[in-house]
Amino acid sequence: MAYADGFLLQVPTKNLAAYRKMSAKAGEIWMKHGALDYKECAGDDMAAEGMATTFPKAMNLKPKHTLVFSWALYPSRAERDRILKLVMSDPAMKMPKTMPFDPASMLYGGFEVIVDMKPEKKKAAAKKAVKKKSVAKKKAKR
């Protein structure tokens, strides 16, 4: 079963470009060592009417900070453990002297995937249907 590492952190909005640059390098390292996917997402729509709490409230989001939700996806927990060891020992994975966010404010957890709606399967099925339709049209013209 697939496995994901999830992160939730707040980045001073003025440091978002530096964070993006740092996390893009980190993503390349994760992917090089076998992660299936790596995403970094900046909070955009954080208002959730009718909810008991929101991400900003739960994280006690500071003024002039942006909430970042990120994850890395792996084929399994065992693969995640293997990949994480490689990532952490990779010489390119050195921390900058000045971090663009406060690492103490970061939340992290490992998650077993329990539902997976693989978009590539949906795209493949749609492509197959279009091809089938095209073949049927050609046969009908004959």
Whole-angstrom distance, CA of residue 63 vs CA of residue 16? 14
pLDDT the model gives residue 67: 97
Q: What is the DSSP letter of 57?
A: H
Assign 125 a pLDDT band (cuts: 50, 70, 90).
low
Backbone phi and psi for residue 4, each to the nearest 5 degrees, phi listed first: -135, 145
Work out the mean pLDDT of the chain and round it to a whole number: 89
pTM of the full structure = 0.79
Closest by Cα among 22, 33, 27, 32 to 95: 22
Q: How confident is the model over 104-118, as a mean pLDDT?
A: 93
pLDDT digits (tens, 9 = 90+) for 3-52: 999 999 999 999 999 999 999 999 999 999 999 999 999 999 988 888 88
Beta-bridge partners for 111? 4
What percent of the chain lies above the pLDDT cut of 90? 68
Residue with tokens 């992160």: 7
pLDDT the model gives residue 30: 98
pLDDT the model gives residue 140: 64
Assign 134 a pLDDT band (cuts: 50, 70, 90).
low
Whole-angstrom distance, CA of residue 38 vs CA of residue 53? 27
pLDDT the model gives residue 79: 98
Options 1.20.120.1200, 3.40.50.300, 3.30.70.1060, 3.30.70.100; CATH for 3-117 is 3.30.70.100
What percent of the chain lies above the pLDDT cut of 70? 84
Torsion sign across C-alpha atoms 22, 28, 32, 36 = positive
